[in-house]
Amino acid sequence: MANKIPDLRGYVCLVTGASRGIGRGIAIGLGECGATVYITARTLKPKSEDNQGVSGSLEETAEEVTARGGVAIPVAVDHSDDSQVANLFTRIRREQKGRLDILVNNVYAGGDALAEHYKQQRSYWELGSDESPGVLWDSVNRRPGLIFNISSFGGLQHLFTVVYGVGKCAIDRMTADMAVELKERNKSVVVMSIWPGFVRTEQMKRLAGETEVTGLDINTHSESPELTGRVIAVIAKESRKDLMARSGRTFIVADVANNFGIRDIDGRTPVSFRSYKMILHMEGRERLAALVPASLKAPYPLLKPASPRF
């Protein structure tokens, strides 16, 4: 079944951390729906690669967004600098007459999350918290809309490193608490956490041979960065009632995609990490996994025992 692309013409969006990875994919996903997308990162112009061997720039993302039918506005921003963030929102208010429909809080400065945390320098621990919550509050004060915080399964149980898990757990808790306070202040603001699956980002492609990192083969058990963008676009077109019911909650990209019949860019149906098939793959039980349908999933209540919080 082909994807029915939502019409986001006239929507004004902001995607932070969009020079590469999931942020780039989200910007492209919104762009193919006709949205105007402000994209931010520190790297504006193309260069060979960064110190981790990964390339990507805002101009390259903007070119792809435009090719897909969207309007891209690249803005170089260091989100650790509050003044640059303030200037960004001043610009959006001026250029869009105060309108901002969708904010995707994706900016992340965690460095190489796959390195052993006890070998990382102190600066790594500080960088991991650079999710710029000030960006969110500024936009909310100016214009009601949708806020998507990009988080991860690492917020539920250990994944990669201590710093990674703490950061994702904090994002999910921030989302829940923001929903409570935003409801008191302005009932038209919706905030939710989004959990992509195993995503084929530039970083993951570089480390594709290191299957011990996740226990999965990147070629067969992963999602494209664009899938998250497509899911966000579909959610954005839901009714006000349905959107308000989502506020403060966490949603798995593959689950939402399955519910709406969204396929990935290669035509495949994404498999949720709630799927017993995926769980078996992660445990290396390939033969048994081949016999289990991807639609058979662990109920959400069963996820709670996986968390050390309970």
Active site residues: 164
N-to-C CA span, the chain = 40
Compute how many other C-beta atoms are within 10 angstroms of the C-beta atom of residue 58.
Answer: 26
Q: What are phi and psi of 40, to 5 degrees?
A: -125, 155
Cα 212 from Cα 159, distance rounded (Å): 12
Cα 85 from Cα 173, distance rounded (Å): 23
β-bridge partners, 15: 39, 104
Compute how many other C-beta atoms are within 10 angstroms of the C-beta atom of residue 200.
Answer: 22
Cα 267 from Cα 239, distance rounded (Å): 27
Locate the DSSP E strands across 87-202: 102-105, 146-150, 190-195
Cα 250 from Cα 248, distance rounded (Å): 7
β-bridge partners, 103: 14, 147
Locate the DSSP E strands across the chain: 12-16, 36-41, 71-76, 102-105, 146-150, 190-195, 250-252
